[in-house]
A and B are shown apart, each in its own frame.
Chain A
Amino acid sequence: MSRLMLSFLRVGILALAILGTALAQSLTFWSWRPEDKEFYDDIARQFEAQTGIKVVFTAYKNTDYNTALSSALAAGSGPDIIQTRAYGGLAQLADAGYLLPIVSQEVKGLDKFPRTLLNAARGYKDKRLFGVPFATQTLGIFYNKALLKKAGMELPQTWGAFLGTLEKLKKAGITPLANGAKDGWTLEIMFGVVGPNFYGSTGFYNEVVGGKRTFNDPVFVRALKEEAQLTPYMPQGFMGVGYDDMRTLFINEQAAFFIGGSFEIGYFRAQNPKLDFGFMAAPPLVQGGRPWVSSFADGNYSINAKTTHKKEALEFLSFLASKEFGQQFTDKLAQISAVPGLTSKDPVLSQVIELTAKYQTPYLMLVGFRYQNPTGSFLLQNGLQSLLDGKATAEQVAADITKGVATWYAPFQGK
């Protein structure tokens, strides 16, 4: 080897070593939210100013994230900080040993988080804690104030009045509901809004998770039927109306109601700043009755079990669990931070926060039955598509869900 080449090699190795040390002093952080890059880059700057620890944020496209992350983890690499999903999505990684278990004392303020939220950050087999929750989502009904006013209608106070309002809007030539059925998951969201009042919310949730009741229960069948009753108020050709179409209808004020989740608020505001909308729980069956809103933890910040910077990573997680961070998260992303005790200046968001605090119930399939295939969500989504299209009865759908879940859920077997 010539001297020249040798010296090139030396310089190269030196450069790599310097680069290595530079990277070694910074935490890497992966997410599936490219739309939040600006926000997290700013958070990283604040954190670095406080602690001197650099954080490098990388976002993947939502649909590519699972693949990118799993390839990295399977290869024994991956980032120090991982944005993980909640419930089954996190449990799967936690049970495989990819995530670092967290003792709540290690992360400042984590003991103040509600237990229901922390349960979204536990393994399915390994019940230790594997992340700091970042957001909660709450499901409900968005309404267009101007359209309701135009049709001369008040906000309905009971489920019956709600159906009446939909009927009147339809007669007035206004599309009552923006919701369609092409994307199955939006039907599950709808069920999360319509269902709890009919199946008995948290009480039923506990019993069905405990295996005391199944989805063949008449209350669950009734809830399915109630959702199917809404099809006359959905847009023309609703079976072919997808998520983007639904959002377009509501943003352009072409539909009065949109059944969805709190994650829409930021998008609605960004797309049509003039849109005057509100958020309500599905009205109770009787006047003055207690409504319910399905809610769930959206995801967590976790630490890679293979990290060589445990101390720094825990320090960053403490920052992500702080009120200082949570308030910025709520204000800038228009999402409900998981950090307890925050308020929002956005009237709709504060309405959601209030409803969640008072009336939350677990989002049935995600929280309880999305741990193995076929998941309760998969079965419910497909079943609802058949039901709304008139190809299956509510009883058949309920039986299929029960039978499908029973293939992996021991408490259901033999029922």
Chain B
Amino acid sequence: MSRSSHPRRFLGLRLERGLWLTLFLAPALVLMLVFTTLPAINALVYSLFKWQAFKRGAFAGLENFQRLFAYPFDQQFLRALSHNTLAFVVLLVVQTGLGLLLAYALWKHPPGLRFFRVTVFLPVILSLVIVGFLWQLFLNPLFGPLNKLLHGVGLHALALPWLGDPATALPALLLVNVWRWVGFPALVFLAGINAISEEYLEAAKLDGASEGQVFRHVILPLLAPSFTIIVLLTFIGSFEWFDLPYVMEGVNGTPAGATDTLALMFYRLAFGTVDAGISDVGLGAAVNTVLFFLVLLGAVLGALYLRRREVEG
């Protein structure tokens, strides 16, 4: 029974419904507020103070930001930012592109559809620590199967120390990231394609559109909402990239900062490291603040732009 058919009779019930909804949402909202919103605001406030270990000292104004944008942290910051940006571009093109292709292929009902659907999505549900550990073993220059294989077939020059060479460390991390996450855009796109009404597709075919034309002019434009979600999530994920670099290359973004990211820099400065660094909460919080506004600005602008395109499309 649809609600609209009895609007007045159900008015009381709807109010009650609203009350229920609030009641059900309240615990989650309170938890969000206490464990997400307040700490986020706190972190912003932290960046405006002097710190001695974990004890807050006097108000420091913008001093932490001045330090962040002076030698040598400015160089670390820009290098990390460039890695985050590169990650976003590469993941957007490779991960999203591959996800789209996989989704399209799965939509075509290949033999073994169920198997492939599970296989593509499986890495997404694996623990990231396990993924990082397994890939570290796989890429290990001494004991890893990849380099053993390369040596075995005589390609000695290609058997590189993948995670230790500044030239290959970041690409290797991105590859692992794609392997781990490609199932997610694939699933979102698959759901998006499945939601497209058969009528559009049949109409296009009746008008003589080729498969490529159907894909390009019917499916892609109708996937715009899925793209919006994926692009935004990829953006946020790339700029807050922490877990995989941390697991595979450590908190210093080894080798020599070649895999450093802004989130690693924040963590390293705020909490210190066992083997090299001293905790500097103010500076760490400054990194975090800049990162927060960067992501906020990017996400809002991106969302506005992509939403408008969705409507136009």
Binds B, one of A49-57, A179-187, A204-212: A179-187
Per-residue contact bits, chain A 381-397, to B (CB 8 Å; 1 contact, 0 not): 11101100101000000
Measured CB to CB, the closest approach of chain A to B216, in angstroms, equals 43
Q: Is the CB of A240 within 8 A of B279?
A: no
Query: B residues 152-189 with Cβ under 8 Å of A?
Result: 159-166
B residues near A383, Cβ cutoff 8 Å: 256
Query: A residues 359-415 with Cβ under 8 Å of B?
Result: 370-375, 377-378, 381-383, 385-386, 389, 391, 400, 403-404, 407
Known interface pairs A70-B279, A182-B254, A385-B256; A62-B53 also in contact (CB < 8 Å):
no
Q: Is the CB of A240 within 8 A of B276?
A: no
A residues near B278, Cβ cutoff 8 Å: 88-89, 92, 370-373, 375
Main secondary structure of the interface of A (DSSP, over half): helix
Q: Is the CB of A403 within 8 A of B141?
A: no
B residues near A (Cβ < 8 Å) are 52-55, 70-73, 139-143, 147, 159-166, 250, 252, 254-257, 269, 271-280, 283
Q: Is the CB of A238 within 8 A of B161?
A: yes
A residues near B272, Cβ cutoff 8 Å: 66, 89, 92
CA distance A375 to B53 in the complex (A): 15
A residues near B141, Cβ cutoff 8 Å: 235-241
Per-residue contact bits, chain A 282-299, to B (CB 8 Å; 1 contact, 0 not): 000000000000000000
Q: Is the CB of A96 within 8 A of B52?
A: yes
CA distance A97 to B250 in the complex (A): 31
Beta-carbon nearest neighbor of A92 in chain B: B53
Q: Is the CB of A74 within 8 A of B274?
A: no
Beta-carbon nearest neighbor of B257 in chain A: A382
A92 partner, pick from B52, B252, B274, beta carbons under 8 A: B52
Q: Is the CB of A73 within 8 A of B142?
A: no
Main secondary structure of the interface of B (DSSP, over half): loop
Q: A184-B252, A241-B142, A373-B278 are in contact. List 4 more A-B contacts (CB 8 A).
A: A70-B53, A71-B54, A378-B277, A389-B165
A181 partner, pick from B143, B162, B250, B255, beta carbons under 8 A: B255
Measured CB to CB, the closest approach of chain B to A238, in angstroms, equals 7
Q: Is the CB of A407 within 8 A of B71?
A: yes
Measured CB to CB, the closest approach of chain A to B100, in angstroms, equals 33
A-B contact pairs, 7 of them (CB 8 A): A92-B52, A92-B279, A184-B252, A188-B275, A245-B143, A375-B277, A403-B71
Measured CB to CB, the closest approach of chain B to A96, in angstroms, equals 4
Q: Does A249 contact B (CB under 8 A)?
A: yes
CA distance A130 to B271 in the complex (A): 21
A378 partner, pick from B140, B142, B252, B274, beta carbons under 8 A: B252
Q: Is the CB of B72 within 8 A of A404?
A: yes
Per-residue contact bits, chain A 269-292, to B (CB 8 Å; 1 contact, 0 not): 000000000000000000000000
